[in-house]
Structure formats: C-alpha cells, structure tokens
Chains A and B, each alone.
Chain A
Amino acid sequence: MHPSSATGQAGTGEPVLELRDIRKAFGRVEALRGVSLTLRAGEVHAVMGDNGAGKSTLLKVAAGVVKPDGGEVRAQGAAVEFASPLDARRIGIETVYQDLALADHRSCVANVYIGREVRRSGLLGHLGVLDRAAMTDRTSQAFGQLAVPVSDVERPVRMLSGGQRQGVAIARAAIWAKTIVLLDEPTAALGVRQRAAVDELIKNLRSRHYGVLLISHDVPQVLEISDRVTVLRLGRNAGTRDTSDVDATWVVTAMVGGHS
C-alpha cells in the first residue's frame, strides 16, 4: 500500500543532506532554534508545522538563500557553506520556491533554461547565439519522462494552469538537480486533480533516487507520498518518524505541541 513499502527504501538510502543544529534569528524572532534533519537519497522527507514554525527558513538555509547563525550544513558527507543559491545549485541542490520564480511571458523552455541557456557550437556560439532547437528538444523530452502535463513546451508560462506552472517549476528543479530537490508548499494553491499530477511528479523524483524535501501543510498528502516526516514547532524539531509508523492524529498533535 504505502509507496515506500513497495520499494522498501524508506530512509535507507545514503544521507545526501544533513542539517545539524541549525539556528537562525531575524532580529528578535528566533525562526530556527537548533534544528537537525537528515535527508537521504530516494526518500521524500516531509516537513510539517504550523505557520511560522520555521519550515521555509529551514528550506532557504538548505537552498543557500538564508545564511544560518549557527549549526552545520553537510552535503554528501562534507560540510558546506553557501554564499548564494548558485553555490547550492552547483553541488546539485535545486529548489522550487513557494512563489515558483517563473518568468510569465517566456516559454517553458526559457524558464527551464533560465541562466543556463545553451549556445550553439562554433563562432555563433561565441557570439552568444542560442541553440533554441536543442533546448526545446531536451525540454520536451524531460517533460515527457517526468510526465509534466504540458504538451507544448513553447507556450508562454502565463498561458498555463496553476498545476501546469507548478509542473514546469518542479521539472526545472528535477532537470538540473543532481542529488536534492527542495519543495516549498508545491500544492498549496492547487485543486484536487492538479495536486494529484504534482504528487505523481514528486513520486517520480523519488524513483529517480533524488532526496526530496517537501514542505507541506497537507496532512493527507504527506501521509500518502512521504517516506518520513519531520514536524517543526516554534523553530524546533518536534519529532521525525517513518510515515508508515504515524497517523494524522500524531502529526497534528506534534504540530500543536501535544507530545512532550
């Protein structure tokens, strides 16, 4: 029944990202007060918690957007320090932000290749001329493999539905990620059917052996697609469990502080 029991890999892959005792304060607001979390290859690790619990801040630390005040980030066994999101991306960490970060007027292809455009070979390439055909082909191919529900990759993103836009953002992360995909509430704004399509994409990432960190508010979704779940409460880790060992009551109780 449970997806992870089908593959038998719940939390058994090698650790690809370790957050150790991460602390972060914004002025007097202590967003993170010493959070530790390990993300393994081939797992969907859900992070849940009430509004303001520190979920997005934790993700931004892992993405190189926010610099922690204390603690350690380790990727593939080595301590890393990210000066910018580019540093995180360089070692294979891609992020789907809550606002998606899509350029609405440009095509799916342009959004997938943003900042990583492919130039032609030879003299034209040196002049900065783009190889649009190659980028379009590779995007179509990737969308097909990842089952992104977009048929025409040359359509401007603003013409797409919410679920399709989400699909483009996730596919972009999947295409460039080498080891880790971080997702911040990817289905918060979606309807039931669109949510199902995004859930399929996330499962697809797991089967490709990525480590997936999934921030979500949606208890049924987390119970359905995650392998492990960590609950944050007031900037602290209120517990990490195998998803197969918990139910909705445990999650909700942990979120509001019932377990001690």
Chain B
Amino acid sequence: MLMEQAAPRRLAAAFRSAPATGVFWILVVLVALIAAFALILPADTFVTTFNAQTVAGDASTLLVLAAGATVVIISGGLDLSIGSVMTFSAVAAALTMKSVSDGSSDHEFTAALVGVGVGVGSGAAWGAINGWLIAYARLPPFVVTLGSLGAALGAARLLSGGSNVSGTPASIQEEVGLATVFGVPLPFVVAAILVLACGFLLSRTRWGEHNYLIGSNEEAARRGGIAISRHLFMLYVLSGALAGCAGLIEVARFAVASVSTGHTTELIAALAAVVIGGASLTGGIGLMGASVVGVFIPVVLANGLLIGGVERFWQDVVVGIILVAAVGFDQWRRAREVSES
C-alpha cells in the first residue's frame, strides 16, 4: 500500500514544487506581461522582429549591471555606485576614443581597443576603491558605495566639463553598437556572454561557492578558513569592471556618453531585477538565471508602455509595485516552506 502510493505522491510533490521555485512565478509574470502587450497593442508594433531586437538591445546594459549586482547581493553586500561608475567609464572611454582616433578613420580600431581598456579599467579602479574600503577598512557597503555613487558621478562630470561626450568614431556605433549576429544585436550578445560567465563563476566555481557561504554566514566562512577580505575586494572590483562594460555598451549603442542622470534609473532597475529574481538582500540566496528574468520585466514594461504611448514614468511606478509584491510573495513562500518541513 505504502509503496504504491509513493510514486504518485512524489509526482504530485514535483508538480507542487515547480511553482514553489521563485523563478517560476517571475517567469509567469513576464509571460503574462508579454501576452498582455501583444493583445492590447496594435498588430505589427509589439510582436515584431524589430521590436524584439529593440528589447534585446535595451536589456543589454541592464543585464550586465544586474549580473554584477547579483553576485554582490548574494555575498550580503551592496553596490550603489554601479550607475555612476557606468557613467564615469562611458565618459572616460568616449574621451579616450575621441583623442586616440583624432577625427581620422585610420586609428579607429586602436581607438576602440584603448577605449575598451580604459572603460573596463576605470570601472575596476572604482571597484577597487569600494573593495578596499569595504573589505580591509571594514566600512559598511551601503556607506562606501553611496559615497562613490556621488564621487564617480561628480568625477565623470568634471572630466566631461558637465556636458555629454559625443563624437566617438562613427564606425564603432555602426560596426558594434548597431550590428547584429544572426539577427541578434551584438551588444546583447556581449551582455549574454558576460552574464553566462558570471553565472558560471557563481554556480560552478569555488569562488562562487565562497560568495554564497560568506553571504549566508560570514563567521562560519571565516572559521572555515575562507579569506573573506580578499574575496570581498575581488567582488567589488568585478562589480566595478562590469559597470565599466555597461558604460562601453552604452557608448557603442548611442555614440554618446551621457552625464545627465548618472544612470540612477538603471541602478534601480538592476537592483530591482535582482530582488525580483528572488535574491535576498541579507545574502546567501540568489540565482543568475532568475536575475536575468527579473531584468526583462522593467525592460519589457518600458518598451510596451512606450509603444502604447503611455507616459514613460509609469514604468517606474509599475516596477516598484512588482518589486514590493515579489518580495512579499517570496517571504510568504519561504515562511510556508520552512513551516512545512
């Protein structure tokens, strides 16, 4: 009797546990969102190849920022400076490309290469400052990165003289920013590679396991012999370098480095995506794949609302509501999970 019942019960349990995984419900929300826009919006506007390319392009910078934020948040940390660092790296890279190419098309390739180095390097440098202060001076991540949020944006504006930097070599936008590979925008391909690399680092390597352990119980990690300070330092360098990559993608796509907003919308959207994806701000929990799904919620929303002619600012309102709802739902789900076991 018992044996006969075991199999169906296990099957039922598997069905019940699919919705119990956080990713499942975010995916449901995303699919519902896409379905709703597809139904409501006029034909040949939302469901088109061109629009899919637009969404993918728009998602690319956010994916890169969210990849870094996922790793940082899982460790129990926080990096509020990624939007500003992205701005700084974009400005630094754009100015470098302009001065290396010097208006002629002969040096454009060199200009692009040096620009990439400066973009990633300056992001990593800001990350190193954050990392040193957090890992070795033991200052709280919130305070440190709130400070560098302001400092990096100020520095970017000083560097650019307060105005946006345009005039990067045209070929960079044409051959990289607007290029496609088998119909997929190149910036999205670059972002996907970076996200996959971060996901691999997080889920398959010792460094990634240490990241989860530190976020889950730092004292246990320390007694286990994990070099916490060195890990945290590297973590913020990685976060900064990824913000630098996001800045480069922006320059490639728009041929301009904008200093007007400091990318606070992107900062908020990236953090929201990670939290919507089920990562816990107290550390120890989070999945790269879930953050990726989380990224597409604000991006698809913005896209659909734009096509529908709705004020863009509704995006921020709706993302805010989804964020709070997702965290509330997740808490309820986890409480139930523990009480059931």
Contact = CB atoms under 8 A, between A and B. Distances in A.
Real binding pair: yes
Interface of A: 85-86, 89, 97, 99, 101-106, 110-111, 114-117, 119, 127-130, 158-159
A105 B220 CA distance: 12
A12 to B, nearest CB: 33
Contacts, number: 66
A237 B65 CA distance: 59
B274 to A, nearest CB: 16
A114 B285 contact: no
A129 to B, nearest CB: 5
B204 A103 contact: no
Contact of A159 (B217, B226, B338): B338
A129 B206 CA distance: 6
Contact of B212 (A106, A116, A127, A129): A106
A69 to B, nearest CB: 23
Q: Which 6 A-B residue pairs are closest in the complex by CB-CB distance?
A: A115-B224, A114-B224, A103-B216, A105-B284, A115-B225, A128-B205
A214 B205 CA distance: 36
B102 interface: no
Contacts of A129: 204-206
Contacts of B223: 85, 97, 101
A117 B209 CA distance: 9
A256 B109 CA distance: 83
Nearest to B212: A106
B213 interface: yes
B213 A103 contact: yes
A114 B220 contact: yes
Nearest to B223: A101
Contacts of B254: none
A104 B217 contact: yes
B226 A115 contact: yes
B207 A128 contact: yes
A117 B212 CA distance: 13
Nearest to B225: A115
Nearest to A65: B223
A116 B338 contact: no
Interface in B268-287: 284-285
B209 A110 contact: yes
Contacts of A127: 205
Contacts of A105: 212, 215-216, 284-285
Contact of A103 (B212, B225, B341): B212
A103 B282 CA distance: 13
Contacts of B205: 127-130
A146 B209 CA distance: 26
Contacts of A159: 337-338, 341
19 contacts: A86-B225, A101-B217, A101-B224, A104-B216, A104-B217, A105-B216, A105-B284, A106-B209, A106-B216, A110-B209, A114-B221, A115-B225, A115-B226, A117-B209, A119-B206, A127-B205, A128-B205, A128-B207, A159-B337
B206 to A, nearest CB: 5
Contacts of A110: 209, 212-213
B225 A104 contact: no
B174 interface: no
A172 to B, nearest CB: 9
B175 interface: no
A132 B295 CA distance: 29
A154 B6 CA distance: 21
Nearest to A117: B206
Contacts of A158: 338
A127 B207 CA distance: 10
A103 B221 contact: yes
B163 to A, nearest CB: 44
B216 A130 contact: no
A103 B338 contact: no
Given A104-B216, A119-B206, A159-B338, 16 more contacts: A85-B223, A89-B225, A101-B219, A105-B285, A114-B213, A114-B220, A115-B224, A116-B224, A116-B225, A117-B209, A128-B205, A128-B206, A129-B205, A130-B205, A158-B338, A159-B337
A99 B223 CA distance: 12
B336 to A, nearest CB: 12
Interface in B208-246: 209, 212-213, 215-217, 219-221, 223-226
A102 B338 contact: no
Nearest to A105: B284
A63 to B, nearest CB: 9
B330 to A, nearest CB: 13
A103 B209 CA distance: 11
Task: Among A86, A97, A106, A159, find the residue whose CB has the most chain B CB atoms closer than 10 A.
Answer: A106
Contact of B221 (A85, A115, A119): A115
Q: Which of A102, A103, A114 is most buried by chain B, counting CB atoms within 10 A of its CB?
A: A103
Nearest to A128: B205
